[in-house]
């Protein structure tokens, strides 16, 4: 049994395959508890400006999910969530969308800081620029960590992936270089009863990269008393569905976790990691 609480379908602007196809591919790779988390970003990725139409996908999302429930194996536990981005940029809208009654789970993410385009679309040209952006990114994660409208914070360290892509291969968001701010984020999440995602998508890159967050941050989260942690493939097409979740579970064991978390109707359920063997 594997769990995947970060996966996309063609509802997402960068998704490829339907929920049914993504669920079937995940099931074939051993996933038995899966939550769709299609993108709902409060800012438009190409401009960094507010996107008033960001949740117009809702009707299509609900229809596709109901189809998936009918057309996938009965022993696959399907849940419906969203990856709700940039919530600290518009707290009222963040609250409104996250309160949608059909949602089982809300991932809180940050793909861009105020006034900039998505980190994926940025180009990084100097170390001083990189360091400034990373500090601003972590400051905004601190803001996000204090808001009550999500369940789990997605892919801490997301910015590092694209900084390395542009030639700064040694850059990373770690406890060694950003420990003070990471501690604030992790302590805020723990104190407010929210969790951390272990995003395994980096493990499928060539060459493989670290998980997001990296193992040192995961260990620190556990040392601080963190218990709520989800596994996510962050797959956007069937070829990636279910990949490297087993490696993620092994990392969690090494960090001292006994359970992985899933959600139904915004309530956490703790699955023993021994069941993921």
Per-domain residue ranges of the chain: 2-276
pLDDT in tens, 15-40: 999 999 999 999 999 999 999 999 99
Domain 2-276: state its class.
Answer: alpha beta
Token digits of residue 270 = 């703790």
Q: Which residue has the tokens 């696959």?
A: 76
The H-or-E segment that residue 267 falls in is strand 267-272
Q: How far apart are CA 65 and CA 216, in angstroms?
A: 36
User: What backbone torsions phi and psi does residue 45 show, to the nearest 5 degrees?
Assistant: -60, -30
- Facing residues of 57 across strands? none
| Dihedral angle, C-alpha 237, 241, 244, 248, nearest 10 ° | 110
- In this prediction, residue 206 carries a pLDDT of 85
Pairing of strands 77-85, 152-153: unpaired
Per-residue pLDDT tens over the stretch 6-17: 999 999 999 999
Q: What's the CA gap between 50 and 114, in Å, rounded? A: 10
Q: Which tokens hold the place of 125?
A: 């040209």
DSSP letter for each residue of 91-111: HHHHHHHHT-TT-SEEEEE-S
pTM: 0.96
Tens digits of residue pLDDT in 178-226? 999 999 999 999 999 999 999 999 999 988 899 999 999 999 999 999 9
**Could you report the per-residue pLDDT of 63-119, keeping only the tens digit for each?**
999 999 999 999 999 999 999 999 999 999 999 999 999 999 999 999 999 999 999
């Amino acid at each position: 049994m594997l769990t995947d609480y970060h996966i996309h379908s063609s509802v997402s602007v960068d998704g490829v395959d339907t929920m049914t196809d993504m669920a079937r591919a995940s099931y074939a790779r051993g996933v038995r508890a899966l939550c769709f988390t299609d993108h709902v970003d409060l800012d438009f990725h190409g401009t960094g400006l507010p996107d008033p139409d960001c949740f117009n996908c809702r009707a299509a999302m609900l229809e596709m999910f109901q189809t998936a429930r009918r057309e996938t194996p009965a022993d696959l536990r399907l849940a419906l969530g969203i990856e709700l981005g940039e919530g600290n940029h518009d707290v009222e809208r963040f609250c409104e969308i996250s309160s949608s009654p059909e949602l089982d789970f809300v991932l809180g993410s940050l793909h861009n800081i105020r006034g900039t385009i998505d980190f994926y679309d940025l180009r990084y040209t100097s170390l001083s620029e990189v360091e400034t952006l990373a500090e601003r990114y972590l400051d905004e994660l601190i803001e996000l960590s204090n808001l009550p409208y999500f369940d789990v914070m997605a892919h801490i360290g997301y910015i590092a992936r694209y900084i390395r892509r542009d030639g700064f291969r040694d850059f990373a968001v770690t406890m060694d270089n950003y420990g003070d701010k990471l501690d604030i984020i992790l302590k805020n999440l723990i104190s407010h009863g929210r969790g951390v995602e272990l995003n395994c998508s980096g493990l499928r890159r060539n060459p493989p990269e670290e998980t997001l967050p990296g193992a040192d941050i995961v260990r620190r989260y556990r040392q601080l008393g963190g218990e709520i942690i989800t596994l996510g493939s962050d797959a956007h097409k069937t070829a990636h569905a279910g990949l490297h979740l087993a490696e993620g579970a092994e990392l969690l064991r090494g960090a001292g976790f006994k359970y992985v978390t899933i959600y139904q109707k915004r309530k956490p359920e703790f699955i023993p990691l021994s069941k993921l063997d």
